[in-house]
Structure 1
Amino acid sequence: MGPVWGTGAGTDGAAAEALKSHVVRARLAGTIATSREKSLTRYRLFAAGDPRVLIGLEPENDWSVAEVLQVMAEQCGVSADPGHTSGPDVIDPHRTLVGLDAFADRLGAAAARHAPVLIGTGHPHRLLGFYGGLADALSAAGCPLLTPAYGRCVDIATRFGVRTYNLDYVRGVALMREPGVRRTAGEPGVHTHSPLPVRTALDAAADAGGPLPELVIGDHGWVCGAGQLGFEAIGLADTDDPALFVGQAEGRVSAVVPLDDAVRSDYYRPLTRYVLNRACLSQ
């Protein structure tokens, strides 16, 4: 049986309904490109404690595969049936809207107190525009956008071995680049799940005597790595990224938006507008 999509509070109004329709059409939610096989593999690796899937989170509890699947069903809307092992995965679009509401509320609270913010992404090819829009609005609202460890080298384990990348910032958003690669519109950065970039940035901020971020925004290791260290962290996550959702369940991640994190970059623009409108940050 497929997922049952809810209609609870938190996503009322024409704007929410329009966005819900958009995320389904764009396959940000509903039936998505991420495969069920890939998601289940990641849940098994998470339960086994594989650091490639923990991405900086150190779970307080011992999570079984069944428990991880249950959390993902509750927070994303994936099928809770362990016998459902193939085909495309699904995300409940209502849960995407609820996640966006919570995300926007934390964003608005940070803006209201002019909190210093650190933003970083492991998905720059897809999500740099989304985060850049948030960065622009937060800066205009008086939030310092932190850029610690700019240019710092970070050694990250990949499937090709340990690779050295440089920490860069574009529009106030941190990302990793190949050494020696020039900034161009066609080379926005490298894809990584590692928590090492956020740890490097936070260490550099602390060594410099601050300021430290009061809110970290991002995905993958940026969220889990910051949340594990006690920083408030919010972000986006796909069905094959269980660490963020477990982090939320254990109270170390404040808000996670379930969505496909690898669709066309322009498909995220309506999400930016929705979040900024709800956070009262529209310019």
Structure 2
Amino acid sequence: MVSAGELRAHLVAARVAGRVATSREESLRRYGLFAARDPRVTLGLEPEGEWGAAELLRLMADRCGVSADPRETSGEDVIDPDCTVAALDAFAERLGRAAHDRIPVLLGTGHPHRLLGFYASLAAALSAAGCVVLTPSYVRGVDIPTEFGVRRHILRYVAGVAVARPAEGGGPLTPESAPGAHTHSPLPVRAALAGAAEQGGVLPGLVVGDHGFICGAGQLGFEAIGLGDSDDPAVFVAEAEGRISVAVPLDDTVRSDYYRPLTRYVLNRAWLSQ
């Protein structure tokens, strides 16, 4: 069992929190883009507040532990590991209630090459506890804007976790190969929810994921919990405005195996250890 102290030490050593790879320049740039309502960083959220750059900086300092000083404009960004541990506790508590109540859950990630293993472990534990892990199909494809133009993607599930896969992609769908695109778009979760509705199927009582998956779900009125980096203000604005129940601040680009202690910690705290 991973204790809170051991987890905190791991977060800092692996740079999941503490000093992280995300640069201060990139974080501030994205706060400015969010303030301008750039859809590349709003992640499907339509914020109710004004959320100017200065207000966003204060919010991110409170929720993530980044420096609140606007004069600090360069260097490595910082995520307070105590914020991460506290948010993981709340995340685990919500998962535990979902398992206890056996509500249907939809999981999805825009970071399959880093975070798929984390979500796949949660999906397996929730399923074993009696929750329905939803995998609604959507056959028409999803046209997602990318830096190379609009590209068609197909919604696919790997170990119970939704990913957006390039339509021309091939190969087996396994957690080891982590197929799928890195995307912050809300379109994949909208497609999954549309697929469930069109098929007359069950809709989720909880959505678990990151970025567009949780912001997009929260915007549509579904309860959502998940992860966000220090340069993803939309996730924490969504939490502040009540669209997301729990937002966990962490670096989402470290090696996938560095998230395993977080997985064990969450499953233990949620009484979902297998």
TM-score bracket for the superposition, by shorter chain length: over 0.9
Q: Is residue 2–residue 265 contact of structure 2 (8 Å, CA) maintained in 1? A: no
Q: How many residues align?
A: 271
What are the residue-to-residue correspondences of 1:126-141 with 2, within 5 Å? 126-141=114-129
Counterpart position of 1:207: 198
Paired with 1:36 and 1:210, the residues of 2 have a C-alpha distance of: 44
Sequence identity, in percent? 67
Match of 2:236 among 224, 245, 256: 245
Kept in 1: contact 2:134–2:160 (CA 8 A): yes
1:219-253 deviations in Å (ceiling 9; x for gaps): 01000000001100000110010001000001110
Query: Partner of 2:5 in structure 1?
Result: 17
**Match for residue 78 of structure 2?**
90
Is the CA contact (8 Å cut-off) linking 2:116 and 2:178 kept in structure 1? no
Question: Kindly tell me: are residues 262 and 186 of structure 1, through their superposed partners in 2, closer, same or farther at Cα, counting changes over 3 Å?
Answer: same
Return the alpha-carbon distance in structure 2 between the equivalents of residues 174 and 83 of structure 1. 40
Cα shift at 1:178:
1.7
Moved over 3 A (4+): 184-187
Q: Is 1:260 aligned with 2:260?
A: no
- Determine if the alignment matches structure 1 residue 279 to structure 2 residue 270: yes
Query: What runs of 5+ residues in structure 2 fail to find an aligned partner?
Result: none
CA distance in structure 2 between the partners assigned to 1:253 and 1:170 by the alignment: 24
Paired AA for residue 132 in structure 1: A
Q: Judge conservation of contact 2:2–2:261 (CA < 8 Å) in 1.
A: no
SS of equivalent to 1:231: coil
Partner letter of residue 199 of structure 1? R
Cα pair 1:151 1:168 within 8 Å, conserved: no
Residues 27 and 151 of structure 1: is their aligned pair in 2 closer, same or farther, counting only changes over 3 Å? farther
Q: State the match for 1:218 in structure 2.
A: 209
**TM norm structure 1:** 0.93
Where does residue 41 of structure 2 map in the other structure? 53
Q: Deviations over 1:197-228 (max 9, x none)?
A: 00111111112222100000000100000000
Q: Look up the SS of the partner of 2:73 in the other structure.
A: coil
Q: RMSD of the TM alignment (CA)?
A: 1.2
Structure 1 alignment gaps of length 5 or more: 1-12
Greater CA deviation, 123-132 or 204-213?
A: 204-213
Hey, what does 2:222 align to over in structure 1? 231
| Cα distance in structure 2, aligned partners of 1:33 and 1:94 | 18
Alignment partners' CA distance in 1, 2:178 and 2:159: 15
